[in-house]
Amino acid sequence: MQFFGLALIAAVLAALLVLLVVRYGWHLRWLAGWVKGNVLLLGLVLATVMGLLAWDLQYFKVIEPRTTAGTLTFSKVGNQQYEAVLSEAGEERRVRLSGDLWELEVEVLRWHGLAGLIGLQDGYRMHRLLGRYIALEQQRDAGSALSANFNPTPPWRDLWVWADRLESHSLVQADAFEVRFVPLVDGARFALEIGPTGLSPEPLNAQARTAMKGL
């Protein structure tokens, strides 16, 4: 009985509010202005979102059948310290890396549904290069300092991150390619071969072949 009474009181108050709104504040001109303002605001929000998506998409490249995404070269600069140079399409990015092994992560966008039907091709973007110590104590103490990011997009507006969080495969799917546990060797130079199914390092000199023997 108590909850029925509370419901009845709430219903009466709601009816009174509706009557007051209709009696003193209901004007079609006001309603039209409110609707127009909200539509304009929604349009600005959508335009901003589309602009941010466009800015993020420019960093992705089409995945061709078995092509070279770039080269990766390592130079020793200290005890378990290396400089890594990633070369892509004439552009070089240099980062410092610590450890005994290296790993590379690549973000992949796969199109589905209508996007696939109209011919959109899957794309990739270099994400980050990581160092790893063999000794567990060193690895634990180093923590996040071993990571070198190639992706300039912050997570809050990263298309790949949002696609991964939403886990919706109706239009676009977030996937990833990884190269793991390759020994760091001074002077080693690798070609990064990428295709629809993954990424693999191909040795370009004797030092790189030595590193690959350690796998």
Q: Specify the pLDDT at position 170.
A: 79
CA distances from 187 to 33, 41, 146, 190, 214 (A): 68, 55, 20, 10, 15
H or E element, residue 162: helix 159-166
Q: Cα–Cα distance between 143 and 98 in angstroms, integer?
A: 11
What are the residue ranges spanned by the domains of the chain? Answer: 61-213
Query: Structure pTM?
Result: 0.78
DSSP summary character for residue 69: E
Stretch 17-23: mean pLDDT, rounded?
75
Q: Is the pLDDT of residue 77 over 90?
A: yes
Q: Which tokens in the block code for residue 83?
A: 């400089």
With beta carbons less than 8 A apart as the criterion, state whether 101 and 132 touch: yes
Residue with tokens 């390092």: 201
Better-scored residue on pLDDT, 18 or 25: 18
Q: What is the pLDDT of residues 142-196, one digit of tens each?
A: 766 678 889 888 888 888 998 898 877 778 899 999 999 999 999 999 999 999 9
Q: Cα–Cα distance between 205 and 203 in angstroms, integer?
A: 6
Q: What is the pLDDT of residues 99-120, one digit of tens each?
A: 999 999 999 999 888 877 888 8
With beta carbons less than 8 A apart as the criterion, state whether 112 and 170 touch: yes
